[in-house]
Structure 1
Amino acid sequence: MEKRRNMYFYARKDEKTKEQVLTLSDLAERYGFTVVKDFKQANIIVSVGGDGAFLQAVRKTGFRQDCLYAGIATSVSRSLYCDFHIDDVSAMIEAMTNEQIEVRKYPTVQVTVDGETNFLCLNEFSIRTGIVKTFVMDVFIDNLHFETFRGDGMIISTPTGSSAYSKSVGGAVVDPMLPCLQVSELASLNNNRYRSLGSSFILSGERKLKLVVTQDGNDYPVMGLDNEALGISHVKEVDLMLSDNIVKTVKLKDNSFWEKVKRTFL
């Protein structure tokens, strides 16, 4: 940690948050860190807000492979990606200076749209109908036609993302030590013509998933990259696989993934 001394704060621009960041910056500098204004100069990137701010911080700074990411919660309690709370930020500085932290590595999903545009997701990729009408997708696993899906859409999540959108539609919460993807359906329609599994399923990190959209007038699906919408029309196919890119985050030694899940849901 001694070699990581350049810190960048990612936060909203409202007055309250600006004041919080100023306080954080002063504290960091008192402990020997250098606060930089350009994230490209940082080797520690700290989000201030909640899980949404953390996801945006990772995306807006380009999923940096040479950085540590840390989250500071400003709501009532800490969250999945935020090991620290704004009311106890000295604990973060103390943990980092006294080596009371570990580095957690989160997998990401690589999304390729129509063989041209590539994106990364930390939580999940979702594709949903853009009009009041179901749409049809052929689902391929490693080039094997697995099913023809008709419904409102699908969610493809990482293990850490399994406790978010995917969980809300009945998906399993997956241990992040398992390199895998989880595929969950949104309101599937099953009849004699269309048949899908009807439940979430988990793919090994070695598998490749392809979704081929049937062009039947529903040509503007809504696609989500974590908490950000992707505006691409006339989508024909989406390829997904576990990426080699990982997100390295600051983790307190006494705050594992399952402790977070217990604190959040139980």
Structure 2
Amino acid sequence: MRVAIFSNMVGASSDVTVQLRKKIDASKKLTFDGLNPEIVISVGGDGTLLSAFHHFNDAIDHIRFVGIHTGHLGFYTDWRDYEVDQLIKSLEMDNRQSVSYPLLKIKIHYADGGSSDQILALNESALKRVSTTMVTDVYIKDVFFEKFRGDGLCISTPTGSTAYNKAVGGAIIDPRLNAMQISEIASINNRVFRTMGSPIIIPPEEWVTLIPDDIYHNILTCDQLLIKDRPIRSISYQISKHRIYFAKYRHSHFWNRVSNSFIGVNKK
């Protein structure tokens, strides 16, 4: 089986990467392949795994991911830095078992010559303004829904619902629900201006389009990617037909991850 390593190469991550490479080279069942892997091992934290996802984005349908976390918190990572031997044994016994999560498809249309981008996101995308109020028309399935005023809007996947979405007051969604969520960031609500004021869950067959009143001065994030200083005419969001796959050797149940990440160990 062909295996690649994607590491942040900081501190313990560098040591783990060296161990992994040596053990893969010594294995009779594994081959190191950084260009055309079947398995990608992310070494670091969730940020490293997000970077690995975007690095191998073009081959997402043919790759499974495994995460080793070397820091304090790893929502997408199942293995610790001291479990390299156990992971190698699991890789050698692999039978292609996997678990998959929904991804967000983002289409960005610019006003500078009609160009556009299409991006996949694992966690979320946010459209924001820094110094002034963002005013944006929100359409759901091409039907006008509201004119939003506030700091911004966050559109997240189910697994991404535990990240920035949670921080701005969004709900946590089980990834077995193939849906996306829109959450408001500091919306303006008074006698003159009104927004829905609560998170909205959108099914996979529908889409959301944002059309900002001011095409300049916006900041758009797609996971760790940042787009600014470009005139954004519109952005459309929908759950993608593509998914991310994780090698399911001992992949933790979603709600166990949520409990461990945000609540900790509860003793009865």
Residues 1:92 and 2:87 aligned together: yes
The match for 1:146 is: 145
1:112 corresponds to 2:111: no
Q: Which moved more, 1:53-62 or 1:101-110?
A: 101-110
- Cα pair distance change 1:57/1:220, threshold 3 Å: same
Q: Are residue 228 (structure 1) and residue 225 (structure 2) matched? A: yes
Aligned residues: percent identity? 29
Counterpart contact for 1:109–1:241, Cα < 8 Å: yes
Aligned to 1:57: 52
Q: What is the Cα-based RMSD across aligned positions, in Å?
A: 1.9
Report the Cα distance in structure 1 between the residues aligned to 2:11 and 2:165, rounded to whole angstroms: 34
The residue type paired with residue 42 of structure 2 is S
Assess, with a 3 A threshold, how the Cα gap between structure 1 residues 61 and 146 changes in structure 2: closer, same or farther.
same
SS of the aligned residue for 2:161 comes to: helix
| CA distance 1:207–1:232, shift in 2 (3 Å) | farther
Question: Is the contact made by 1:208 and 1:241 (CA closer than 8 Å) also made in structure 2?
Answer: yes
Q: Secondary structure at the match of 1:236?
A: strand
Instruction: Show the counterpart of 2:161.
Output: 162
Structure 2 regions of 5+ residues with no counterpart? 111-115, 264-268
TM-score (norm 2): 0.89
- Aligned residue among 27, 31, 35 for 1:34: 31
- 1:16 to partner: Cα distance: 5.2
Aligned residues: 256
In the alignment, is residue 239 of structure 1 matched against residue 236 of structure 2? yes
Against the structure 1 CA distance between its residues 107 and 233, is the aligned structure 2 distance closer, same or farther, given a 3 Å change threshold?
Answer: same
Task: Give the structure-1-normalised TM-score.
Answer: 0.90
Using the alignment, how far apart are the partners of 1:154 and 1:143 within structure 2?
A: 18
Question: Unmatched 5+ residue regions in structure 1?
Answer: none
Superposed CA deviations along residues 68-102 of structure 1, whole A, max 9, x for unmatched, are 1111100135x211011111122222233345984
User: Are the structure 2 counterparts of residues 87 and 13 from structure 1 closer, same or farther at C-alpha, using a change threshold of 3 Å?
Assistant: closer
Partner residue, 1:172:
171
Query: Post-superposition shift, 1:14?
Result: 4.4
Q: Indicate how the Cα distance of structure 1 residues 190 and 59 shifts in structure 2: closer, same or farther if over 3 A, else same.
A: same
CA contact (8 A) 1:100 1:252 kept: no
- d(CA) in 2 for partners of 1:60, 1:232: 23
User: 1:203 aligns to what?
Assistant: 202
Task: Return the letter of the residue paired with 1:249.
Answer: F
Quick check: 1:83–1:251 contact (8 Å CA) kept in 2? Answer: no
Please give the alpha-carbon distance, in whole angstroms, between the structure 1 residues aligned to 2:13 and 2:88. Answer: 19
Do the aligned residues in 2 keep the contact of 1:101 with 1:252 (CA within 8 Å)?
no
Q: 1:60: Cα distance to partner?
A: 1.3
Residues of 2 paired with 1:183 and 1:29: CA distance? 45
Is 2:252 the counterpart of 1:255? Answer: yes
Please give the alpha-carbon distance, in whole angstroms, between the structure 2 residues aligned to 1:107 and 1:173. Answer: 14
Structure 1 residues 174-205: Cα deviation after superposition (integer angstroms, max 9, x where no partner): 10000000000000001344221001110111
Q: Tell me the CA shift for residue 261 of structure 1.
A: 0.9
Could you tell me how far apart the structure 2 residues matched to 1:245 and 1:42 are?
A: 18
